[in-house]
């Protein structure tokens, strides 16, 4: 099992290992017996079977009842832990999760939001209220042992309590198309104080920032950084280094000038002009960034575009 | 010295037309065998491509769109064209009337019709692959399946048509078993393979129509937008999951029950001993068939269904484990103090026992609510159903193939190569799929085109395992085909078994038996009836 990152993980793991030991026990009995019988009663020449017993009621009852008792115990244990996983503590902090192909958006109390990065205070129960804007997704954090489908027509909930600061992967566990395996995010568990600061600084209102500064912040907070590097290395998507003001070759062989309009289009309609060598897996940011934020991102990419000219 | 009978069902009457219009269950079975082998080859090639792509994170040989289509096709072909028809239509068709001492199935024309429907459905499915392809996964979950491009309607139509083939075969078998048993063949003297085919047929008849209707609704939703699964029109996408699993869970028992039936034949024959707990094994098939209709919700513990429903489904799921456990214990006990010979069919039976036990026990992790939350939709599930389906059904299918091959063709395959191949298949299978349990427990979700670096070593082992497995299967194909033409004549009863199919010639004549057989002993009366195997090795 992966490292335990939530309060519930311990009970789930204990149950997992209990079932594992029970399974090993039965496996050894069945396969061990089959193996011993095979070696011991291997046919030699024309030898007939030593016994033709074909029933034993006591044995039949034992191997029916004994497993029933075991599975009923497993059922009860499984259900007890499951109820703990289902009942959200009353004092939980509620965060809205929106899934779309192929990214996660998190809305925090107080109006700030983030993309593909869920920042939560450590040691506080977090309730996730989740819905999808398109197909079914599934919110999965292996380290927390939490998984819940995210549906387009109703809200589903999940909760966790991560006691220690750290980073954990968020994965999508319900098949949702081309970008399914890229639909990844991170949960960043931080101290209460850092959480408050983060809300204020990273996700707070962009007062007194230049467009370029805002763009730089959006580059991380909107998780452009997951797919687009700024150091020239190719990732899932093309790098931002030295793009602006240059011609790019598209998938269909045509060339396009990477200007303001091209970048705006690529943010809102990523599938329209895909750069050669890359898969069209970028989700649309329509509705996730406002006009000023698009201007800011363009300004940021522009600033990176000039850098190639420098020595 | 054994000889091949001059007049047998393979060479009389002659000509392609006599095959295509045949009403002989054995010929129809052979034609099915060709069909499902082709499907298995195609599905297997897709499986190899999947494993190759997963060798490294990111792109190896194809893009994500192609990958999604290929895993969909692997699943859809393996399930609907290979494993659901699988043992019953190919080996069941050939062996069932012989086991009953009958001349044919009850409705020979219906039998041929089923074959043509199967071929028609298969061709449609292949046309769907080449015209537009499908990227929905074999589960066709809405709303993804109603909004994505590709030939989804054509594919669902193909599966809808295949369903009729399945229903017709099921009906045919039920009537055959009721009406065409040889004199003296009472219900509790039936070979257990027949019992398992009977239980399977009942599920086929009752469950398949549900899949048909579900797929019709899906097609209507796509073509006309009726909105039954569309949230924008007040529909419910989760309803599709309920419909789908209401068929597809019983369907996994359509897949595994015939395999269990095969194992119930192989173990007593190669242990030379009466089967332990005949009635318990026969009844447990029906226990499984009945409960299998009531556990579909265990596929949906994280789908948003109510925790109360999940609780009940979890409980019933544990209950369906019991009859399977009873069978496993009975098979093992049959070997106790037997006289066990390790010919290839028995090696496959032992592989089945090994792999199916792992497959069954890992089901406990998934039936337990708390652990299922973490494990569902990960590679743990992928590994679990491959252990049950491939480690169970397919191993039983291979065992059955090697067991009845000399009966069908009258010739024995090369024992040396068959052992090599069995070892490779067993080893390759475990390397491929045991690693996937670990991957899943570590949180690797299924249907991922790419993955985090931490999963790379295990994916690497899994892919290497798939090559070993493939090598074993290629060797098997070569020596089995070779045996058809060049194998040594096997004689009527190469294994010294007691069921009726071994009392006629190999291959049997078109009318199966020279005289209608009369049954005087049970199928596993190895204590009272002595039969000498006709093939010495």
List the CATH number of the domain containing B466.
1.20.210.10
Q: Does residue A307 surpass a pLDDT of 60?
A: no
Distance between CA atoms of A227 and A242, rounded to whole angstroms? 16
User: Which are the contacts of B67, defined by CB distance < 8 A and separation ≥ 6?
Assistant: B50, B53, B449
Q: Does residue A205 surpass a pLDDT of 80?
A: no
A309 — pLDDT class (breaks 50, 70, 90) = very low
Asked, for residue B9, whether it belongs to a domain, the answer is no
Residue B384 at interface with chain A, using a CB cutoff of 8 Å: no
Distance between CA atoms of A256 and A235, rounded to whole angstroms? 20
pLDDT for the residue A183:
87
The pTM is what? Answer: 0.88
For the domain A9-43+54-86, what is the CATH code?
Answer: 1.10.287.90
Query: CB distance A140–B377 less than 8 Å?
Result: yes
CA distances from B120 to A41, B16, B123, B158, B165 (A): 49, 19, 5, 8, 10
pLDDT for the residue A207:
66
Instruction: Give the DSSP H or E segment for A159.
Output: strand A156-160
Tens-of-pLDDT digits for all 537 residues of chain B? 688 888 889 888 888 888 999 999 999 999 999 999 999 999 999 999 999 999 888 888 888 888 888 899 999 999 999 999 989 999 999 999 999 999 999 999 999 999 999 999 999 998 888 887 788 888 888 888 888 877 888 988 999 999 999 999 999 999 999 999 998 899 999 999 999 999 999 999 999 999 999 999 988 888 888 888 887 788 888 888 898 899 889 999 999 999 999 999 999 999 988 999 899 999 999 899 899 899 988 998 888 888 889 999 999 999 989 999 999 999 999 998 888 899 999 999 999 999 999 999 999 999 999 999 999 999 999 999 999 999 999 999 999 999 999 999 999 999 999 999 999 999 999 999 999 999 999 999 999 988 888 899 999 999 999 999 999 999 999 999 999 999 899 888 999 899 999 999 989 999 999 888 888 888 998 888 888 888 876
Give the count of domains, chain B. Answer: 1
Residue B452 at interface with chain A, using a CB cutoff of 8 Å: yes
Residue A140 at interface with chain B, using a CB cutoff of 8 Å: yes
Query: CB distance B326–A64 less than 8 Å?
Result: yes
What is chain B's length?
Answer: 537
What is this model's ipTM? Answer: 0.86
Q: Which tokens sit at B369? A: 């609510």
Query: CB distance B336–A135 less than 8 Å?
Result: no
User: Which are the contacts of B198, defined by CB distance < 8 A and separation ≥ 6?
Assistant: B173, B174, B177, B285
Report whether A184 contacts A200 (CB < 8 A).
no
User: Which are the contacts of A164, defined by CB distance < 8 A and separation ≥ 6?
Assistant: A5, A122, A189
CA distances from A3 to A190, A248, B442, B459 (A): 17, 43, 9, 20
pLDDT for the residue A231:
78
Please report, for chain A, the start and end positions of each structural domain, with discontinuous segments joined by +.
9-43+54-86, 93-201, 211-309
Q: Could you tell me whether strands B488-489 and A146-150 are parallel, antiparallel, or unpaired per DSSP bridges?
A: unpaired
User: Exposed, middle or buried by CB within 10 Å (0-12, 13-18, 19+), for A145?
Assistant: buried
Name the residue among B325, B327, B496 with its Cα closest to residue B406. Answer: B496
Fold of A211-309: Cytochrome Bc1 Complex; Chain D, domain 2 (1.10.760)
Give the CA radius of gyration of chain B: 23
User: Does residue B519 sit in helix, strand or coil?
Assistant: coil
pLDDT for the residue B1:
67
For the domain A93-201, what is the CATH code?
Answer: 2.60.40.420
Q: Rounded to 5 degrees, what are φ and ψ at A51?
A: -150, 150
Query: CB distance B445–A75 less than 8 Å?
Result: no
Q: Which residues does chain A have within 8 Å of residue B374's beta carbon, measured at their own beta carbons?
A: 1, 12, 16, 142, 145-147
Q: Which residues does chain A have within 8 Å of residue B274's beta carbon, measured at their own beta carbons?
A: 52-54
Containing structural domain, residue B486: 26-503
Name the residue among B478, B29, B111 with its Cα closest to residue B10. Answer: B29
Query: CB distance B353–A31 less than 8 Å?
Result: yes
Asked, for residue B410, whether it belongs to a domain, the answer is yes
- Establish, for the pair of chains A and B, how many residue pairs have beta carbons separated by less than 8 Å: 263
Report whether B465 contacts B429 (CB < 8 A).
yes
Q: Which tokens sit at B374? A: 């973490």
Distance between CA atoms of A184 and A173, rounded to whole angstroms? 10
Min distance A302 CA to chain B CA atoms (Å): 29
Report the helix count and the strand count for chain B, using DSSP H and E: 18, 2
CA atoms within 13 A on the CB side of B296: 18
Min distance B372 CA to chain A CA atoms (Å): 9
Q: Could you tell me whether strands A126-132 and A156-160 are parallel, antiparallel, or unpaired per DSSP bridges?
A: antiparallel
Distance between CA atoms of B449 and A176, rounded to whole angstroms? 12
Q: Which tokens sit at B457? A: 């070593």
Residue A10 at interface with chain B, using a CB cutoff of 8 Å: no
DSSP A259-296: SHHHHHHHHH-TTSSPBTTS-S-PPP-BTTB-HHHHHH
Q: Which residues does chain A have within 8 Å of residue B308's beta carbon, measured at their own beta carbons?
A: none
Distance between CA atoms of B120 and B162, rounded to whole angstroms? 8
User: Does residue A41 sit in helix, strand or coil?
Assistant: coil
Min distance A64 CA to chain B CA atoms (Å): 6
Q: Which tokens sit at A85? A: 């996983």
CA dihedral B6, B10, B13, B14 (to 10 degrees): -100
Interface of B with A in 298-317 (CB under 8 A): 302-304, 307, 310-311, 314-315
- List the single residue in B302, B335, B374 with the smallest CB-CB distance to A41: B335
Mean pLDDT (chain A) is: 84
Residue B233 at interface with chain A, using a CB cutoff of 8 Å: no
Asked, for residue B376, whether it belongs to a domain, the answer is yes
Q: Which of A20, A74, A187 to mutate against chain B (most B CBs within 10 Å)?
A: A74
Region for B393 from its dihedrals, namely left if φ exceeds 0, alpha if ψ lies in -120 to 50, beta otherwise: alpha
User: How many percent of chain A have pLDDT more than 90?
Assistant: 26
- List the single residue in B328, B337, B450 with the smallest CB-CB distance to A50: B337
pLDDT for the residue B240:
87
Our measurement of the distance from residue B346's CA atom to the centroid of its chain's CA atoms, rounded to an integer in Å, reads: 18
Q: Which residues does chain B have within 8 Å of residue A15's beta carbon, measured at their own beta carbons?
A: 368, 370-371
Instruction: Give the DSSP H or E segment for A126.
Output: strand A126-132
- List the single residue in B144, B272, B377 with the smallest CB-CB distance to A48: B272
Q: Which residues does chain B have within 8 Å of residue A42's beta carbon, measured at their own beta carbons?
A: 340-342
Min distance B444 CA to chain A CA atoms (Å): 8
Distance between CA atoms of B488 and A18, rounded to whole angstroms? 52
Nearest-by-CA chain B residue for A235: B58
CB-based burial, A158-195: b 16+ in 10 Å, e otherwise: bbbbbeeeeebbbbbbbbbbbbbbbbbbbbbbbeeeeb
């Amino acid at each position: 099992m992966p490292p335990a990152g939530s309060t519930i993980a311990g009970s789930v793991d204990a149950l997992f290992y209990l079932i594992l030991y029970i399974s090993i026990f039965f496996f050894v009995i069945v396969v061990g017996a089959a193996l011993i019988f095979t070696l011991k009663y291997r046919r030699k020449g024309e030898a007939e079977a030593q016994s033709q017993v074909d029933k034993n009621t006591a044995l039949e009852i034992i191997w029916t009842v004994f497993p029933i008792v075991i599975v009923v115990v497993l059922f009860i244990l499984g259900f007890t832990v499951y109820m703990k996983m289902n009942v959200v503590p009353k004092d939980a902090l509620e965060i809205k999760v929106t899934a779309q192909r192929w990214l996660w958006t998190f809305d925090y109390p107080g109006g700030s939001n983030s993309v593909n990065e869920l920042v939560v205070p450590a040691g506080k129960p977090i309730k996730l209220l989740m819905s999808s804007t398109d197909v079914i997704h599934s919110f999965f954090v292996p380290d927390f042992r939490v998984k819940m489908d995210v549906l387009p027509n109703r809200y589903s909930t999940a909760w966790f309590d991560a006691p220690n600061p750290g980073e954990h992967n968020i994965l999508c566990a319900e098949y949702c198309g081309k970008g399914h395996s890229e639909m990844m995010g991170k949960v960043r568990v931080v101290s209460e104080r850092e959480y408050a600061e983060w809300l204020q600084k990273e996700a707070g209102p962009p007062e007194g920032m230049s467009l370029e500064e805002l763009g730089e912040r959006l580059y991380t907070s909107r998780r452009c950084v997951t797919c687009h590097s700024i150091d020239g290395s190719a990732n899932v998507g093309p790098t931002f280094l030295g793009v602006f003001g240059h011609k790019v070759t598209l998938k269909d062989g045509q060339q396009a000038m990477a200007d303001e309009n091209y970048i705006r289009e690529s943010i809102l309609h990523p599938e329209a002009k895909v750069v050669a060598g890359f898969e069209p897996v970028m989700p649309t940011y329509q509705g996730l960034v406002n006009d000023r934020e698009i201007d800011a991102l363009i300004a940021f990419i522009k600033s990176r575009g000039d850098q190639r000219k420098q020595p | 010295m054994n000889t091949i009978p001059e007049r047998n069902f393979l060479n009389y009457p002659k000509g392609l037309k006599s095959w295509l219009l045949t009403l002989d269950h054995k010929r129809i079975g052979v034609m099915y065998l060709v069909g499902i082998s082709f499907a298995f080859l195609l599905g297997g090639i897709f499986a190899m491509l999947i494993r190759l792509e997963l060798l490294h994170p990111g792109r190896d040989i194809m893009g994500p769109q192609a990958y999604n289509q290929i895993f969909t096709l692997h699943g859809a072909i393996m399930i609907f064209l290979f494993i659901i028809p699988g043992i019953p239509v190919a080996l069941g068709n050939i062996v069932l009337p012989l086991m009953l001492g009958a001349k044919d199935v009850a409705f020979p024309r219906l039998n041929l019709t089923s074959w043509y429907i199967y071929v028609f459905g298969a061709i449609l499915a292949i046309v769907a692959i080449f015209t537009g392809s499908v990227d929905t996964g074999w589960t066709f979950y809405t709303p993804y399946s109603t909004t994505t491009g590709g030939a989804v309607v054509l594919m669902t139509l193909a599966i809808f048509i295949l369903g009729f083939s399945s229903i017709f075969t099921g009906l045919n078998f039920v009537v055959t078993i009721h009406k065409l048993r040889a004199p003296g063949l009472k219900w509790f003297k039936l070979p257990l393979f027949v019992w398992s085919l009977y239980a399977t047929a009942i599920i086929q008849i009752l469950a398949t129509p549900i899949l048909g209707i579900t797929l019709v609704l899906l097609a209507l939703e796509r073509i006309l937008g009726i909105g039954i699964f569309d949230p924008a029109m007040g529909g419910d996408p989760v309803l599709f999951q309920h419909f789908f699993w209401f068929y597809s869970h019983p369907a996994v028992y359509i897949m595994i029950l015939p395999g269990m039936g095969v194992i119930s034949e192989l173990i007593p024959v190669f242990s030379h001993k009466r089967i332990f707990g005949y009635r318990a094994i026969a009844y447990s098939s029906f226990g499984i068939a009945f409960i299998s209709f009531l556990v579909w919700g265990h596929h949906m513990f994280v789908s948003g269904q109510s925790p109360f429903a999940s609780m009940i489904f979890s409980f019933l799921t544990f209950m369906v484990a019991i009859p399977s456990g009873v069978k496993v214990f009975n098979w093992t006990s049959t070997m106790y103090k037997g006289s066990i010979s390790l010919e290839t069919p028995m090696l496959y039976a032992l592989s089945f026992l090994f792999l199916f036990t792992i497959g069954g026990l890992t089901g406990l992790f998934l039936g337990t609510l708390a652990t299922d939350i973490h494990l569902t939709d990960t590679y743990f599930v992928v590994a679990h159903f491959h252990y049950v389906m491939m480690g169970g059904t397919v191993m039983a299918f291979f065992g059955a193939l090697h067991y009845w091959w000399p009966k069908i063709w009258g010739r024995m395959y090369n024992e040396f190569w068959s052992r090599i191949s069995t070892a490779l298949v067993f080893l390759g299978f475990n390397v491929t799929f045991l690693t996937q349990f670990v991957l899943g427990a570590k949180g690797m979700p299924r249907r991922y085109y790419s993955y985090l670096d931490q999963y790379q070593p295990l994916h690497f082992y899994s892919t290497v395992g798939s090559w070993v497995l493939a090598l074993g299967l290629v060797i098997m194909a070569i020596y089995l085909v070779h045996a058809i033409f060049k194998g040594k004549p096997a004689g009527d009863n190469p294994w010294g078994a007691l069921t009726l199919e071994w009392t006629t010639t190999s291959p049997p004549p078109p009318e199966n038996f020279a005289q209608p057989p009369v049954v005087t002993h049970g199928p596993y009366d190895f204590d009272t009836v002595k039969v000498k195997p006709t093939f010495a090795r």
